[in-house]
Each structure stands twice: as C-alpha cells, then as structure tokens.
Structure 1
C-alpha cells in the first residue's frame, strides 16, 4: 500500500500569513500526494470575474471575505484536494469551522522578517498597498496567530527550499494521522 494513500482521504487546507508559502508549498504538496491543488484566491477571482485588488477597490474587503467564505465552502464539499487559503480566510469563524470539520488544517508559520522579505517582492497584495510589510505582518500576527493556532497541525518553515517545507508538511501529516488513529 502506498504510504501516502491515507493522506489523500481528506482535503488538506493550508492556512497562514501572506508569504508563508501556502500556494507554492501547496502546489508541490499536491503533486507529492497526487491530489488536485486549488488556490482559494484564484477561485475567488474566477467566481467574481475580477482580480482580488479589483474586488477590494470596487466592492471592499467585506465583499471579498464573503465571496472567499462561499468559495471555500464549495471547495470543501468536493473530493479531497490540497487547498491554499488566503491569509484572512481562517479568521472567519464559519470558514474556520468548515475547514476544521471537512479537512485537515495546516498552519504554515514562518518568522515575520522572512515573510516581509517575500511579500515585498509582490505588488498584488491589497492589504500592503502603500504600507510597510513588516508593520502589516506584525499587526496581522498579533490578531491572526490565536486563530491559526487552532489549526490541526503547525509546521514551522524557514527560509528554505519549498521542497523542504513540503517534506515537513508530509511528516507532520503522517504524525498527525498516526496520533488520530491511536
């Protein structure tokens, strides 16, 4: 029997701050586990017919969060996938409960200076527009870490290759599964 087979029985949902690697690690994790990969942000853009910055500009963050919640609920109703969520998705109590009930949640946690360096390279993050990335991340960590701490698994990632993080997640999932079966 393929040792990763049981890991494919449930959706694996990645949560964490922007820049933590949810999309990049998620794509590689999906390949390793032979599961489809879905990025909630991409799915929201497709459903809305516009980019996330456009949604924020034209409709506001509350409309984005509502669409995000509905998209994640739809994705969690389907067959197992690896799902990368937006950094704020797990803050919504309803979304958090859906994720915890219908999937295995994994918090990808990295040091804030590493995240600040990563997110400074992208201009497509509406919550950073015209702001200092480190200040935004510090504020988000203070608010979001208590919610992220409710994830089933926490994986501390560093400034390493994506494959190292993927291997860490697979080990953590395997350990979690063994504990859950005991």
Structure 2
C-alpha cells in the first residue's frame, strides 16, 4: 500500500508522513527532498534559475519514479496536484490523503519553519497570508478531486492525525 500525502505547504505532510510510516512499518519518501538530492540545488534556487514550469516537470519525473517503488508513505510537494498526470499516477499507485489546514495555521507554520526560504519559494508577489488564501482557493478543488479522503490538521497532534488516517485506511 502506498499512501500519498497531498496538501498545501506546512499542512503536515512530512511530519505526519514520517510518523505514519513508522506506525505502518513502511518506508517514508519526501518527494521534495528526493528532488533536491537529485538535482543538487534547493527548490528556491531551481525556481529562481529555471522558473516554475521546469520545476514542475522535474517534480513529475520524480513522482513517476516514486510510484514504481512499491509500498511506502510519500510526502508530496504542495503543487503536485497541478498536473493531472501526477494525480493519475498517484491514484493508480495508491491512496491520496489530503492534509488540510486553515490559512492562519499555515501562515504560522511557515513563519516558524526554518526551511521555508530554501524549500518554499513565494508563489506570488503578495503578502504571505494573501498568497496562502489565494493559492488555497485555486488549489483546494484540485486537492479535493485528487483525494481519497481528507484530514483537517488544525489543532491536532501528529499522532492523532496518524490515527485518523489509519482508521480511514481500514477496510
């Protein structure tokens, strides 16, 4: 069983993914980390140098490789759902769990995250909260279309989120 954690930046994909993988005794893969390791530059550097489209193409190639790797828990990049091919690959390879959080929660987590500068380049030229709200309104329908089920991570501990996911996965 492969579980793809999808959702906006700082909704808990990596933190929950690691804990969920431990709980299910599955390998954990962070797609963004794999991408950075493969190309030897940060996501911010990649986007600054080449733009978003080449980055998205690289992201798709990494995802295709991940989908061939067998049972695992995968933390995807927040924009992986922007390409329908990626969504098709994930749905054919496993279960998509949408980790959701409100704009204020996401902003708070982004500000607290030391890796934000390297791994989360600005998507727009707007203020942080406005960017989050605008991007969520564009992407939420895509996450909804891609998901098998969702979990709201606002105000929940990692262990609680993992329990919800495990219970949803039970036949």
Fold agreement, TM-score > 0.5: yes
Q: Could you say which structure has the larger radius of gyration?
A: 1
Counterpart pick for 1:165 among 141, 144, 161 = 161
Please give the TM-score of this superposition, normalised by the length of structure 2. 0.92
Within a 5 Å distance, the mapping from 1:112-131 to structure 2 comes to 112-122=103-113, 123-124=116-117, 125-127=120-122, 131=126
Structure 2, gaps ≥5 residues long: none
RMSD: 1.4
Q: Please state if 1:152 is matched with 2:152.
A: no
Which residue of structure 2 lines up, in the alignment, with residue 140 of structure 1?
A: 135
Task: Map Cα deviations across residues 136-155 of structure 1 (whole Å, 9 max, x no partner).
Answer: 11111111111111211111
Task: Map Cα deviations across residues 25-72 of structure 1 (whole Å, 9 max, x no partner).
Answer: 000000000000000100111111111111011111111110000001
Contact 1:119 / 1:133 at 8 angstroms: preserved in 2? Answer: no
Q: Please state if 1:98 is matched with 2:96.
A: no
Moved more, 120-129 or 10-19: 120-129
Please give the TM-score of this superposition, normalised by the length of structure 1. 0.86
Cα distance in 2 for partners of 1:96, 1:62 equals: 17
Structure 1, gaps ≥5 residues long: 1-9
Q: How many residues align?
A: 166
